[in-house]
Structure 1
Amino acid sequence: MNLLQKTLDIIRPADKEAIKKAWERMDNLSKPIGSLGKLEEIAVKMSGITGKVKNRINKKNTIIMAADNGVWEEGVSACPQELTAIITNNYTKGITGIGVLSDYAKADICVIDVGVKAEFNNPNIINKKIAYGTKNIAKGPAMTREEAIKAIEIGIEAVDNLVKEGYDLFGTGEAGMCNTATSAAVISVLSGMDSDIVAGKGSGLTEEGFANKKAVIKRAIEINDPDKKDPIDVLTKVGGFDIAGLCGCFLGAAKNRVPIVIDGIIACAAALCAFRLNPNVKDFMFPSHLSAEPGSEYVMNEIGLRPGLNMDMRLGEGTGCPLEFCIIESALCVMNNMATLEEASIHNSEFFVDIREK
């Protein structure tokens, strides 16, 4: 709890003076004001994070939290539970979606076992196992409050350590059967929305299986009665180790004043928890894409973010992050290298009107 509280106390909002200076430069580049849309917003937001008008990314890393969920025994996933361990191992081989996309984006991944129901003999998987999966949320709390805080602090520590290694742009990924169910439960409680609206099919459920999933989520919320005003209580009762770990990653990024990308629905649930713990984390978050899972749009609206991509993606793993890494670096390239009006010998700028949304 000490690390978590210290982190929450340290987090400060974006540098408003740097943002002002960044907009001054951006609006003076040789283009109509606002004509590069979200690329302009991204570059300026980065200035608010670092305090510098011009920025470059040195090293990129998507942190993947892997954990199993006890609610699997309720039949809310079409996949065998053993698949969590298989996928977690495969992440380190570079053959998964996040692996090939990260390779293309020249980004690294960091795989952390925070609660997989298996043992690994793989030096590329960081062992931070809290337990062999959570307990079944349809019968009681997923974990203790102490375990939830421990998982959050594992995420904070992961970012702390990687920042020391020179990483300055982060993504969020996960592995865990049934984590769309736990994410839907977390988002439902925090939002006050009916869980039937928030829940999605996840990995290939039949209509009958989907109906069961929604019923299990609803039952879990009723049995555990989590306090929506306390994100840690929500994670404790209906969350997962992976969601809590990623929540810590968002807090850790804000603490270290480095940007972090939100991937799919599990990362969305984690981002919402972090935002409720300290709203200033919003200034360090970049959404990658709008997940096909129903709860994602609510989370984006709640935090006040707009994903730049809508590609019907729902793989998870962090696959949206390397795509967003490329977009972020493109935005910084514009800010750093595009000529100003003066440099481009454009002296009559009356046609360069402001088309940004007010």
Structure 2
Amino acid sequence: MTKTLRSIMIPALNHQTGEQTARYIDTLTKPPGSLGRLEELAIELAKMTGDAFPKVTRPGVIVFAADHGVTAEGVSAFPQEVTGQMVYNFLNGGAAINVFSRQIDAHLQIVDIGVASDIEGEGLISRKVRYGTANFSKEEAISRDEAIQAIEIGYEQGEEMIRKGAKCLILGEMGIGNTTTSSAILAAITGKNVGDLIGRGTGISSEKLLHKQQIIEKALHDRKPDVGDPIDILSKLGGLEIAGMAGAMLAAASHRIPILVDGFICTTAAVLAKMISNAAADYMIVGHKSVEPGHEAAIQWLGKEPLLDLGLRLGEGSGAAVAFPILQSATLMLREMATFESAGISDEA
């Protein structure tokens, strides 16, 4: 691991500030605990930010795009070219994450970190490590240096978004084949059976699903990733956008910025970020539960509880963006609700 990654410093949660916020919540004009998870979120955000009255606006959304060589094995319902086509859709403002980012007034950045074709367009951030990963069923996906480079690019993009004023970070991805990569990563880390982790991704048939399982199982046997080394896992299996998201999460945690984690692919990146620096998970809130089977395993590994369960499986950061107003509600509760004293209401039972 490079000096840059080894030197990442993530501050401890500020429990004193959390206690201050908890006491203040009990003075608001409502029965104790009656706003349930919103109260818990407000306290979590206070601990993360070190601010008794935390802010999460404006949010920042970074979508990392990259291709996966394993698509050559027929594991996806869509061809690899769709990754680049979707990047253009992002740049033209037509994707789900564009819609939801506008809804929550988010800064939005699209980063080409490893698309297999040349992409050009206004607003695109080009930080391409390479033109897609190699086919991990045949060889290692990327080199160790490339894995580190992708994490560091993600870290830099996260810091840039924070400099723009982002108070909450949402990470998204685009990469045909990345449910296969994520399933392989999680199987390696958790030791769970591949069959219990894989899903239909973009909508593959039952026959293709079995094929996907066999490809992953053979790759894990052949590549033998070191389950204690997140860089080795990324090197053996990929992918570049997953590494980028992990790096951006580390940047957010380093700056006490809450991370609103999206679905299966993003949560896999969160698992890797936690492996790189355990304290990173303290700054993560899982936005929703995906229908992808592996997502539940990743959430459990992180020890988190998702905010929503809407049957989503799109990716792009879309589910986290939809969940963002819940965080906003928790902070507005603190900032705008009256206390019993200010409202002249008796708080005696």
TM tier, shorter chain? Answer: over 0.9
The answer to whether the 8 A contact 2:133-2:141 is kept is yes
Runs of 4+ in structure 1 over 4 Å off: none
Partner residue in 2 for 1:269:
268
TM-aligned CA deviation for residue 248 of structure 1: 0.5
Q: How does 1:236-255 map to 2 (within 5 A)?
A: 236-255=235-254
Partner residue in 1 for 2:3:
2
Hey, what's the Cα distance between the residues in 1 that align with 2:348 and 2:284?
34
Percent identity, please. Answer: 37
How many residues get paired?
348
Partner residue in 2 for 1:38:
37
Hey, what's the Cα distance between the residues in 1 that align with 2:139 and 2:192?
21
Q: How does 1:303-314 map to 2 (within 5 A)?
A: 303-314=302-313
Partner residue in 2 for 1:19:
18
The answer to whether the 8 A contact 1:13-1:281 is kept is no
Q: How does 1:1-358 map to 2 (within 5 A)?
A: 1-7=2-8, 10-350=9-349
TM-score by length of 2: 0.97
Q: Deviations over 1:164-197 (max 9, x none)?
A: 1212211010000100000001111111111111
Instruction: Point out the more displaced range, 222-231 or 336-345.
Output: 336-345
The answer to whether the 8 A contact 1:68-1:81 is kept is yes
The answer to whether the 8 A contact 1:288-1:321 is kept is yes
TM-score by length of 1: 0.95
The answer to whether the 8 A contact 2:148-2:231 is kept is yes
- 1:113 aligns to what SS in structure 2? strand
The answer to whether the 8 A contact 2:159-2:248 is kept is no
The answer to whether the 8 A contact 2:107-2:166 is kept is no
The answer to whether the 8 A contact 2:261-2:267 is kept is yes
> Unpaired segments of 5 or more residues in structure 1?
351-358
Hey, what's the Cα distance between the residues in 1 that align with 2:126 and 2:284?
26
Which AA in structure 1 matches 2:342?
E
- 1:342 aligns to what SS in structure 2? helix
Partner residue in 2 for 1:355:
none
Hey, what's the Cα distance between the residues in 2 that align with 1:194 and 1:279?
25
> Unpaired segments of 5 or more residues in structure 2?
none
- 2:343 aligns to what SS in structure 1? coil
The answer to whether the 8 A contact 1:185-1:239 is kept is no
Instruction: Point out the more displaced range, 171-180 or 297-306.
Output: 297-306
Hey, what's the Cα distance between the residues in 2 that align with 1:213 and 1:344?
61
The answer to whether the 8 A contact 2:91-2:122 is kept is no
Partner residue in 2 for 1:354:
none
Q: Alignment RMSD, CA only?
A: 1.2
